[in-house]
Amino acid sequence: MKWLHNLLKGASLTGALFVFQACYGTPKNPLYEDGGLAPMDFLLVSHTTGEPLEGIEVTAASLNGREWKLLGTTDADGRCHVDIPYARNMYGPSLFFDDPQSHYCPKDTTLADLREREIVIKLKEVQ
């Protein structure tokens, strides 16, 4: 008799969980909700030599496209981790990579897929 009680208890718990998921769906990742932040990792290298570039500033346009905000600067390994604001109706953030010492040409780009985890950006030397 005890096994029947345990079987019914397990079945009712499973049923309750099934109903909960049917009503509310699977949990959504808050990262890609409007107003969330998408973490991005960049590696900036020289177009000619492939060596990492230190001190390159990464800026992004705000969601309204009117203001630019400094998100980060590359370290000695040419890497930079930034959190980019995400909006569902946005094609991708407008990013700008600039060398304050002016040894490399500035570069701007728009990212189409924020789920890409490491992006390699190549900057050309100033002639």
> What CATH number should be reported for the domain holding residue 50?
2.60.40.1120
Is 15 inside a domain boundary? no
| CA-to-CA dists, residue 9 to 15, 16, 41, 93, angstroms | 10, 11, 48, 51
Is 22 inside a domain boundary? no
Q: What range defines the domain where residue 99 resides?
A: 30-123
Q: If you ran DSSP here, which 8-state letter would residue 121 be given?
A: E
Task: Report whether pLDDT(88) > 90.
Answer: no
The enclosing H or E element of 23 equals: helix 2-24
Is 4 inside a domain boundary? no
Is 16 inside a domain boundary? no
Q: What is the pLDDT of residues 64-78, one digit of tens each?
A: 666 778 888 999 999
d(CA 4, CA 114): 51
pTM (2 d.p.) = 0.63
Q: What is the pLDDT of residues 31-43, one digit of tens each?
A: 455 566 777 888 9
Is 48 inside a domain boundary? yes
For the chain, the domain total comes to: 1
